[in-house]
Chain A
Amino acid sequence: ISLFFLGHGKNHKDAASVRATHPIPAACGIYYFEVKIVSKGRDGYMGIGLSAQGVNMNRLPGWDKHSYGYHGDDGHSFCSSGTGQPYGPTFTTGDVIGCCVNLINNTCFYTKNGHSLGIAFTDLPSNLYPTVGLQTPGEIVDANFGQQPFVFDIEDYMREWRVKIQSTIKRFPIGDRLGEWQAMLQNMVSSYLVHHGYCSTATAFARVTDTTIQEEQTSIKNRQRIQKLVLAGRVGEAIEATQQLYPGLLEHNPNLLFMLKCRQFVEMVNGTDSEVRCFSARSPRSQDSYPGSPSLSPRHGSSNSHIHSTGADSPTCSNGVMSTKSKQGHSKYPTLSSSSSSSSSSSPSSVNYSESNSTDSTKSQQHSSTSNQETSDSEMEMEAEHYPNGVLENSSTRIMNGTYKHEEILQTDESSMEESCPQRQLCGGNHAATERMIQFGRELQVLSEQLCREYGKNTVHKKMLQDAFSLLAYSDPWNCPVGQQLDPIQREPVCAALNSAILGKAWFQESQNLPKQPPLMLALGQASECLRLMARVGLGSCSFARVEDYLH
């Protein structure tokens, strides 16, 4: 919650109100400020409350439309009206009056000397400003927006609401048929594992939960291998492997290729890329050369599924997974057996159903679970289409920071990364390598110009290239303003982009077309975006429901 100091200290004006310079931010959830009555002045006609922008400031808060106040002389509350309602005790010199706006249920209550006086107003509009009104000479008040400790225990109140909202989320009714929800969750986890190529984990998960994996194992392993290469900083090899396994992918994705190459350059500086590491004589294939060798190698990898799918009309199921499932399906998870058997039967829509449905229902689940009822459906769909490009990138990187590391310890050998760290010399200190790097840099420059000609100017590319080249301008690239590029963590977005591109492309079969983002990430992005949207439209509960809180 942000309680910021708005800087009006002492007021002693006659018959006038002072409004804070900023409205209460809706996203803060619960807003609180306190006013100490330093002196009640002649008659103690003081009003403490809220008002919208544009309300007449020559009157006490509460008397006009969109203005709300609690007055010291009679203890009444004024809700946009000249006549007050009996509300609480009167207040005078020495009292500390607090005003708490709850933006979750749009109510307001006051406190006197740390004691809550009960709800004063309901159905408050948004964008209200804290307001204090004084009317008779000598009235002095001090406002405290959190720069000093509050008399009232607002922290405790916020704790209550945090728990309330979290339990609302927890107890949100799923409202579907038995087992479907669980199946969907399992599907999401499974697809996430598959997406990131955690092959053995995915297989183990599938075995335990009795589900099918949507992708051929060898294909997963291929992607895993490429990802490992990128994450190890061996981008050149990764490019090569990609070209080999997924011919045509990078030509159709010049942006991705450029990104990879930039990264390769950075890794060269780092001394981790294979071209400078091993310094083999093999030059990178030029762009022209690789479409010429499509070969059957990628087909080779997925041929198994080809044959299988034509027979069974169910492209996702491999033999092995299938059999374990049918064995356990009846004894352990009777509810699941129906859905899994449907995919093995010849119902053609079943796979589609589980795949697309899971994402869709996740969307709506997450959407409603954050109790956002005001956003229209059409808006939601728009958002859903947006974030694979922009928004999600942020949150997905965040996740990977955690998960990837973990997986790497489990599965990959980190030797290559470990090595790169201690020897901090340009291109590993190898002179030949440095030359190779400079040559590569030139090629990169050429590629950039070529892309520029074909697709028009691209500021992102320009920046990328600039940043990469800037590394050479410093004697110690690791400790320079652009040095963070060399951080292995920077490999992760590149890796994710490449992985998404591979999955997004129909390398396997026309109908299969795995999503660029795993449904789990999609749901996560959806939730984050919902919260952002809630904050924008002024639904206060968003401040107590952070996606991050659930990611541990």
Chain B
Amino acid sequence: DMKNAVIGNNKQKANLIVLGAVPRLLYLLQQETSSTELRTECAVVLGSLAMGTENNVKSLLDCHIIPALLQGLLSPDMKFIEACLRCLRTIFISPVTPEDLLYTDATVISHLMALLSRSRYTQEYICQIFSHCCKGPDHQTILFNHGAVQNIAHLLISTSYKVRMQALKCFSVLAFENPQVSMTLVNVSVDGELLPQIFVKMLQRDKPIEMQLTAAKCLTSMCRAGAIRTDDSCIVLKTLPCLVRMCSKERLLEERVEGAETLAYLIETDVELQRIASITDHLIVMLADYFKYPSSVSAITDIKRLDHDLKHAHELRQAAFKLYASLGANDEDIRKKIIETENMMDRIVNGLSESSIKVRLAAVRCLHSLSRSVQQLRTSFQDHAVWKPLMKVLQNAPNEILVVASSTLCNLLLEFSPSKEPILESGAIELLCSLTQSENLALRVNGIWALMNMAFQAEQKIKSDILRGLSTEQLFQLLSDSDVNVLMKTLGLLRNLLSTRPHIDHIMSTHGKQIMQAVTLILEGEHNVEVKEQTLCILANIADGTTAKELIMTNDDILQKIKYYMSHSNAKLQLAAMFCISNLIWNEEEGSQERQDKLRDMGIVDILHKLSQSSDPNLCDKAKTALQQYLA
């Protein structure tokens, strides 16, 4: 009677909970002595209560309903088990329920796995519980280690649509960004058919949209994990077109969001997939429609529709930005097509200042992707003063946004970018210098990278500002950074700072000692060839200075090192070292004779003679030119 009173009536449910029915029901449910009919009825009523509002679920959770229901699963009675599972399912799919509750007791998972073979209802409910409670790699691993793949795979060919669908959903969450699961899935077969083939069948256009979309997600995860090649026809001719269809206007807003996000993920790193997607069903134009919510029509005519549109508007926009970012990641023509889409740059600029973090992040990613185009940097980026909102985004944004935004800034600071000037004027140096002190590695890299770009062929003042802003301590800090990227970019910055003779002399006159120290340190340290090459190039730059030369010539330690690298086994390092020597012995400059003599005494000339016989034409040329300086 209680059951009939509460079903479909939220008010009655709330009343019942207020009256304290839940503990009583749970008590009855747990009483071994009560009849299974009564216990089953209790589970049904509790399940009905859980179907109500989120507050209902909270009240149920407060009464520790989950352990009680899990206990109930040990009963021998199938009807009772199903009622408990149904109730558990309802509770676990509620957003207020913490997923971790499922994993508190390891035996629960294995028991659920065992129940999977019992009936189609247990199959449906358990799969649904798994797919809702599997968040992140830890959960995936737990379920995987309990044999989820083998236990659920055969459910994909169940006669019940609901079971098939829930099983498919399970796989889509299990495989998501999980190479281990994905690699396993490709080799699992059910009834003589491999899982990828089963998924492809589920992509067929006459299957329900939900099934197509979920199957596409599974295949996408498997492809990204490397389990399926990106040029496999099941990706190129099945998954990709299916996901593009999910973006079409005919689909529900939720489906369009999911479709675009999944497609963005699928094509993110493969230029060929990006090219195919860009020509499929006018995808780029189709995506422009994602920005038209809430539409102006809905605002007046239909409040319900407006509400619906508003709710999804952010999601739609961020999904579109993400997909545009993936589409434009590598191909210049595609970028051009994207930017030529109606109001595209305005939309990105607006997106950068949206309140929703998700949208801002996606917009920055999109901008970043497009900023890889030299042509666009010079044209549309300048026309729309993209740098302004970008600089704004960079002010106290969360790290995930900062990473992408600063990376975009790197591109905007390239010497040919017309945005460079205004960005500098708006206090970028300070900002970037602070980024180099970040705990976050990506931010450090981007910060120093941007500074490096900024310093390239920059005027004296900017260079001094950078040095001042960064401080020598920080510079040394970065040079001893554990990350080779940071080190490389810092060296790159140094090299850019030390270019053109007056700048070299100026900087070396103020920071010469520290720089020479740093250089020595790196050449002595255990670094890869690129780092050493970069360092030798810095030395070569220093050797190009007028007064700065002396810092090398008076440093026998450094000279010995240069000599050593001239005979190094790596041609690149030999070449770099030779640049130093060339710069030092160049004839027309003051004091070249003394330097030549000193270096000859060190045995450099002998090495040059040897190198002029080298089989490497670059080395050979360089050595000959250097020897000529001695002859003149």
A binds B: yes
B279 touches A117 (CB 8 A): yes
B206 & A162 in contact (Cβ 8 Å cutoff): yes
B571: Cβ under 8 A from any A Cβ? no
Q: Does B276 contact A (CB under 8 A)?
A: yes
For A89, A115, A160, the residue with the greatest tally of chain B CB atoms inside 10 Å of its CB is: A115
Question: Which one of B206, B238, B279 contacts A88 once the chains associate, using CB atoms below 8 Å?
Answer: B279
B280 contacts which of A116, A119, A159 (Cβ < 8 Å)? Answer: A116
A163 & B241 in contact (Cβ 8 Å cutoff) = no
CA distance A157 to B206 in the complex (A): 8
Q: Give the complex CA separation of A117 and B206 in angstroms.
A: 20
Bound CA span A162–B279, Å? 26
Query: Taking CB as reference atom, which chain B residue is nearest A115?
Result: B280
Q: Separation in Å of the B323 CB from the closest CB of chain A?
A: 16
- B282: chain A residues at CB < 8 Å are 117-119
Query: Is the Cβ of A159 less than 8 Å from the Cβ of B205?
Result: yes
Q: B204 and A156: CB pair below 8 A?
A: yes
Which residues of B sit under 8 angstroms from A115, Cβ to Cβ? 237, 241, 276, 279-280
| B281 contacts partner chain A, Cβ-Cβ < 8 Å | yes
A77 CA to B17 CA in the complex, in Å?
A: 65
Inter-chain contact A112/B279, CB cutoff 8 Å:
yes
A169 to chain B, nearest CB (A): 15
Residue contact B206 to A160, C-beta cutoff 8 Å:
yes
Per the bound structure, the CA–CA distance linking A89 and B276 in Å amounts to: 10
Q: Which residues of A contact B241 (CB under 8 A)?
A: 115-116
With an 8 A cutoff between CB atoms, is A153 at the interface? yes
Q: Closest Cβ of chain B: how far from A331's Cβ, in Å?
A: 19
Interface residues of A in 89-124 (CB under 8 A from B): 89, 112, 114-119
* Shortest Cβ gap from A85 to chain B (Å): 11
CB contact between A156 and one of B205, B236, B279, B280 (< 8 Å): that residue: B205
Rounded to whole Å, the gap between the CB of B242 and the closest CB of chain A is 9
A163 touches B206 (CB 8 A): yes
Given the complex of chains A and B, what is the CA–CA distance between A116 and B279 in angstroms?
A: 8
CB–CB A153/B237 < 8 A: yes
A432 to B51, CA, bound (A): 83
Give complex CA distance A118, B238 in Å: 16
Question: Would you list which residues of chain A between 148 and 167 have a CB under 8 Å from chain B?
Answer: 153, 156-157, 159-160, 162-163
Interface residues on B, range: 10 to 19
Nearest chain B CB to A545's CB is how many angstroms away?
A: 15
Contact with A along B180-220 (1 / 0, CB 8 A): 00000000000000000000000011100000000000000
Give, as a whole number of angstroms, the nearest-CB distance from B53 to chain A.
31
Q: Which residue in chain A gives the minimum CB-CB distance to B250?
A: A164
Bound Cα distance from A114 to B238, whole angstroms: 10
* CB <8 Å contact, A159 and B204: yes
Contact with A along B281-316 (1 / 0, CB 8 A): 110001000000000000000000000000000000
Q: A115-B241, A116-B241 are in contact. Are A160 and B205 (CB under 8 A)?
A: yes
Residues on B with C-beta less than 8 A from A159 are 204-206
Interface string of B265-280 (1 = CB under 8 A from A): 0000000000010011
Query: What is the bound-complex CA distance between A156 and B281, given in angstroms?
Result: 16
- List, in ascending order, chain A residues with CB within 8 A of B276's CB: 115
Q: How many Å from the CB of B201 to the closest CB on chain A?
A: 11
Contact between A157 and B281, CB atoms less than 8 A apart = no
**How near does chain B come to A60, taking the closest CB pair, in angstroms?**
21
Among B206, B236, B286, residue most surrounded by chain A Cβ atoms (within 10 Å): B206
Question: Is there an interface contact between A114 and B237, defined as CB atoms closer than 8 Å?
Answer: yes
Name the CB-closest residue of B to A116.
B281
Contacts A114-B237, A115-B241, A116-B241 hold; do A157 and B205 have CB atoms under 8 A apart?
yes
Chain B, residue nearest A151 (CB): B237
> Which residues of chain A come closer than 8 Å to B279, judged between CB atoms?
88-89, 112, 115, 117
Q: How far is B276's CA from A163's CA once the two chains are assembled, in angstroms?
A: 27
Q: Which residues of A contact B237 (CB under 8 A)?
A: 114-115, 153
Task: Give chain A residues whose Cβ lies under 8 Å from the Cβ of B205.
Answer: 156-157, 159-160, 163
Specify which of A112, A156, A159 lies most central, judged by the most chain B CB atoms within 10 Å of its CB: A156
Shortest A48–chain B CB gap in Å is 16
Q: Which residue of A lies closest to B244 (CB)?
A: A116
What CA separation (Å) do A157 and B241 show in the bound complex? 11
| B208 nearest in chain A by CB position | A163
The residue of chain A having its C-beta at the shortest distance from the C-beta of B205 within the complex is A160
Contacts of B236 in A (CB 8 A): 114
Residues of B within 8 A of A160 (CB): 205-206
- Closest CB-CB distance, B611 to chain A, in whole Å? 50
| B281 & A118 in contact (Cβ 8 Å cutoff) | yes
Cross-chain contact B204 with A117 (CB below 8 angstroms) = no
Residue of A nearest to B333 (CB): A89
Chain A: minimal CB distance from B199 (Å): 14
Tell me how far the C-beta of B369 lies from the nearest C-beta in chain A, rounded to whole angstroms: 20
A95 to chain B, nearest CB (A): 12
A117 to B205, CA, bound (A): 17
Nearest residue (CB) in A for B277 is A115
Minimum Cβ distance to chain A for residue B530 (Å): 39
Q: Report the bound CA distance from A115 to B237 in whole Å.
A: 7
In whole angstroms, how far apart are the Cα atoms of A171 and B241 in the complex?
28
Interface residues of A in 69-88 (CB under 8 A from B): 88
CA distance A118 to B285 in the complex (A): 10
Of all chain B residues, the one with the shortest Cβ separation from A152 is B237
CA distance A156 to B212 in the complex (A): 12
Bitwise, B425-466 to A at CB < 8 A (1) or not (0) is 000000000000000000000000000000000000000000
Bound Cα distance A116, B236 (Å): 12
Q: How far is the CB of A154 from chain B (nearest CB, A)?
A: 11
A152 to chain B, nearest CB (A): 8
Q: A118–B204 contact, CB under 8 A?
A: no
By a CB distance below 8 angstroms, the chain B residues around A118 are 280-282, 286
A114 to B195, CA, bound (A): 24
What residues of B have a CB within 8 angstroms of the CB of A163 in the complex?
205-206
Identify the closest chain B residue to A117 (Cβ).
Answer: B279
C-alpha spacing A153/B205, complex, angstroms: 10
The A-contacting residues of B in range 126-150, CB under 8 angstroms, are none
Q: Which A115-153 residues sit within 8 Å CB-CB of chain B?
A: 115-119, 153
How far, in Å, is A114 (CB) from chain B's closest CB?
Answer: 5
Residue of B nearest to A156 (CB): B205
Q: Residues of A at under 8 Å CB distance from B?
A: 88-89, 112, 114-119, 153, 156-157, 159-160, 162-163
Can you add 18 more A-B contacts, CB < 8 Å, to A115-B279, A118-B282, A118-B286?
A88-B279, A89-B279, A112-B279, A114-B237, A115-B241, A115-B280, A116-B241, A117-B279, A117-B280, A117-B281, A118-B280, A118-B281, A119-B282, A153-B238, A156-B204, A159-B205, A163-B205, A163-B206
Would you list 10 pairs from A and B whose C-beta atoms are within 8 A, ordered by A residue? A88-B279, A114-B237, A115-B280, A116-B241, A117-B282, A118-B282, A118-B286, A157-B205, A159-B206, A162-B206
- B residues in contact (CB < 8 Å) with A: 204-206, 236-238, 241, 276, 279-282, 286
A-B pairs, top 5 by smallest CB distance, nearest first, are: A160-B205, A118-B282, A159-B206, A118-B281, A163-B206
